[in-house]
Chain A
Amino acid sequence: MGTLAGCGNYADGGRNNDSGNASGSGGAAEEGKQLLPEDDASKEITFSVWTGADDYKHYNSYAENPVVQCLNKKFNIRMEFQQPPMGTEVDNFNVMLGTGDYTDVMNTTYSTSSQSALYEDGVIIDIAPYLETYMPNYYRVLQEDSELRRLVYDDDGRAYGIYNVEDLDRNQWGGMVYRRDILETMTGGNIAFPSGGEEPVTVEDWEYMLPFIKTYFDNSGMAETAPLIIPACGYIMTGELIAGFGTSGTWQLGRDGSTVEYGPATEEFYHYLCKMKEWYEAGYIYQDFASRTNDLFYLPNTSLTYGGGAGVWMGLLGQTGSAMSLPEYGLNMDVRPITAPLDTAHGISEKDASFYIFSGVASMPFCISSSCDEDKIARILTVFDYLFSEEGTILRNCGLNAEQAAEDVIYQSYSGMEKGAYWYDEEGNYCVNETFTNATDNFDPNSFFGNRLPGIPAHMPDPANIERTAQDDMEDHAGEVWITYGRERQIPTGAVMNADESKKFNNVRTQIMDYVDSMVPKFIMGTEELTEESFRKYVEQLSALGMEDANDAYRSALERYNAR
């Protein structure tokens, strides 16, 4: 791959290469000509985009983002961004809908109504007829990925969103971790898990491991310690830990794969609760877990984890290996990834376990609003489609090359970045600007890419100029361990409820979750009796609160999805 083109110019011929319009998109192009008014490329158009905000250190508005600037030049456009402050997105989106003051393009992530509902209410338009003609690259991506296609198109064959396609296997940023060094110390290096492996796999293995950790902490003289940290609600929302018991804390597919059930009402959940209660009483579980509602579930009590007072917790990639050690304070940690403990006593094997990441195959749908001028639509689609082309993918994910950077204020203003975000050396090897790796706190790498725009992930080779460290290997290893169980029992993201279903679901959802969240910690801490009888009563109460309604809502959404 040679040097890529600069920001170029859409008007003089840009549309004829792979970045541009429909020249090679096949038969439908002819018919497509009448779909939208002819786009006069020499005319600059302006369109507004509503999207969430980030605190980017190097500019105020996303309109100043280098990738956006580059697109502006290339396509003779001006993108204006309307970005509510973080934390007020839902309010803002609703205000925009309520007042009819729509932007031309809107990111509907924060919408409280589904895309179909938005379409029916006349807020967004159906872009399905235009995809093949105006968005050949996006169309190709959709053709290649059936799960994505089922997400993008609804039951009636309409499509509304231009999505950011996720790289699930590479994006596994967190999972359960444990302190290997404690086990080494306590066993004198002779770790012998009952299941015979190198790493703990089953509940039995964990029950071999946890007493060691507890004894270690008991003798450490530390004021506060916790062999195992669980979040305030008593289970990890994304399914780590609880997956080993064959269930989850949310709605999931039944074992047959076609029904829907609510995890906290299953028998497996009872097994999970019993085990947690047992561990809590034995002092293995963090005694204060229930009050830590302000901790992000992937950052449980950092004073414990970073202070060396935690044994097993939900950790992040960057915490693995020896990254958390503080040698100058005598704290040497060896943090290893670990899979959820398989509840073999109740016959749970690897195939029954499944974890439930919230993010689906794609996110952040950008939709065209009904108030967007028809003359602009063709150009807008072309711009977004470019982000799915090979060239656009690199621009969005890897940043600007030297030639493009020469025209960009942000790149030029930050020392070290004027060379561009990446380049190819004489042998054609991919090299990344070292500024990223040597980043200081006043440097914000995200400012230089276009990840807030829709697109697909770029699979670039490892950069030749940056050495792989042991930490990199550890993180790759962790990523593999954490996806061991797959996500077979997660309800597909594309199974979206229609207006009626989501109304039915929303009516009961809060009260069900409130009840579960308040009961689970009590069961674990023993302030609420936990027997088969009391669990049965708890499930009955869930039914009384409308659990079947919620299950039904999911089930019909799933049926429609499967029929697509």
Chain B
Amino acid sequence: MVEKRSVSRVIFNIFNYGFMFLFSFICLIPIWHVAMASISDPRLLMASKGVLLKPLGEITWDGYAMVLTNKSIITGYVNTLFYVLATTIIMALGTLVAGFLLSRPNFKLKGPLGIGIMFTMMFSGGLIPSYMVVRGLGMTNTRWAMLIPGVLNAFYIMMMKSAFEQLPGSYEESAKLDGAGPLTILFRILVPLLKATIAVIVMFNVIQQWNSWFNASIYLTKTREYWPLQLFMREILINNDASKMATNLDAEKASSFVGNLVKYCVTMVGTLPLLCAYPFAQKYFVTGVQMGGVKG
């Protein structure tokens, strides 16, 4: 399409590009600040204020060395990868089936099921009863506690349901005539058409799982070896603050400041994988979210 080059268009473009440039700059500030702080001289960092545009003093990788040699970080990374992968599969299967059911036109259970699922978005029972259920199932201090509770989410199911409803009915009609069952229709015919929506909920789930720590903190108190990355990171962050308080140990003279870098290094280590993965997922968002959110 050829754009008309009217004066107002040019003025608009100047402003629009200018605004976007400025906005990008503002959005870049925090991550840039964190990146620069993570390799700054820790003692100077302690005495600095405001945004860092370049590292302070000599560049140091001590903070990263400290974080990455922490025994727990590696364990955490491996666990988190496993949880992200496994929950994504479970979540995708459950959400697909639930969304599919809610979108069946001649299904009497559809109404009650939909309301039942929506209701869980608004009300929850709280910590202790949830714990008792999970414990009753023998899941506490096992990896199952990270995989099953909370894996299905009403929001995603509603999104999936809308996506199914958007598809023209003709696709499955022919399949039905061939005598295909619901599972065949779902996985053979509909899933390939909804790749984009699935990609979106997968991405949402990955972000959510990557950042989750609360369930682990409640259910995995005896099994630190199962902890996800974020829980270890949280502990490092909190502990780092707490241990700044000089202890009565002569050895811990305040001469060491590398601890100050930890907050920044942990942020980088914890979010960089997601930041890098995001642009790749971006192309799916372009068609995905739209199909999910809409009910015509």
Contact = CB atoms under 8 A, between A and B. Distances in A.
A92 B246 contact: no
Contact of B49 (A48, A173, A224, A316): A224
A306 B43 CA distance: 8
Interface in B214-253: 214, 216-218, 221-222, 224-225, 227, 231-232, 234-236, 238-242, 244-253
Interface string A469-505: 0011000000000000000000000000000000000
Interface string A95-126: 10011010000000000000000000000000
A450 to B, nearest CB: 13
Contact of A173 (B70, B75, B241, B247): B247
B48 A88 contact: no
B224 to A, nearest CB: 5
A60 B259 contact: no
Contact of A54 (B132, B221, B239): B239
A55 interface: yes
A85 B72 CA distance: 13
Contact of A472 (B221, B238, B250): B250
Contacts of B225: 60
Interface stretch (A154-162, A435-443, A507-515): A435-443
B222 A80 contact: yes
Given A95-B131, A296-B241, A171 B235 contact: no
B222 A84 contact: no
Contacts of A87: 234-235, 238
A181 to B, nearest CB: 16
A445 B251 contact: yes
A167 B249 CA distance: 13
Interface in B61-85: 62, 65-66, 69-72, 75
B135 A99 contact: yes
A288 to B, nearest CB: 11
A373 B46 CA distance: 51
A33 interface: no
B292 to A, nearest CB: 34
Given A61-B224, A84-B221, A55 B245 contact: no
Contacts of B216: 85
B109 interface: no
Task: Categorize the interface residue count of chain A.
Answer: 35 or more
A92 B231 CA distance: 14
Contacts of B69: 442
A325 B248 CA distance: 22
Contact of B259 (A54, A84, A167, A441): A441
Given A80-B222, A445-B252, A306 B241 contact: no
A296 B222 contact: no
Contact of A95 (B72, B75, B218, B259): B218
Interface in B25-67: 43-44, 46-49, 62, 65-66
A517 B11 CA distance: 52
B48 A307 contact: yes
B256 interface: yes
Contacts of B232: 55
B127 A95 contact: yes
Contacts of B238: 86-87
Contact of B224 (A83, A296, A316): A83
Interface in B131-190: 131-132, 135
Given A91-B127, A223-B49, A83 B221 contact: yes
B46 A173 contact: no
Interface residues of B, number: 54
Contacts of A345: none
B258 interface: yes
A329 B251 CA distance: 26
B221 A306 contact: no
Interface string B183-214: 00000000000000000000000000000011
Given A92-B217, A296-B244, A318 B235 contact: no
Given A92-B221, A303-B47, A60 B71 contact: yes
Contacts of B213: 85
Contact of B250 (A167, A316, A437, A446): A437
A298 interface: yes
Contact of B246 (A53, A85, A174, A436): A174
Given A57-B70, A173-B248, A296-B244, A441 B224 contact: no
A332 B221 CA distance: 47
A94 interface: yes
Contact of A85 (B44, B217, B241, B252): B217
Interface string A33-71: 000000000000000100001110111110000000000
A99 B128 contact: yes
A442 B247 contact: no
Given A298-B245, A303-B48, 5 more contacts: A86-B234, A92-B221, A296-B241, A307-B47, A436-B250
17 contacts: A53-B235, A55-B239, A57-B71, A60-B71, A81-B222, A95-B128, A95-B218, A98-B128, A99-B128, A174-B246, A303-B47, A303-B49, A307-B48, A317-B254, A329-B44, A437-B251, A441-B256
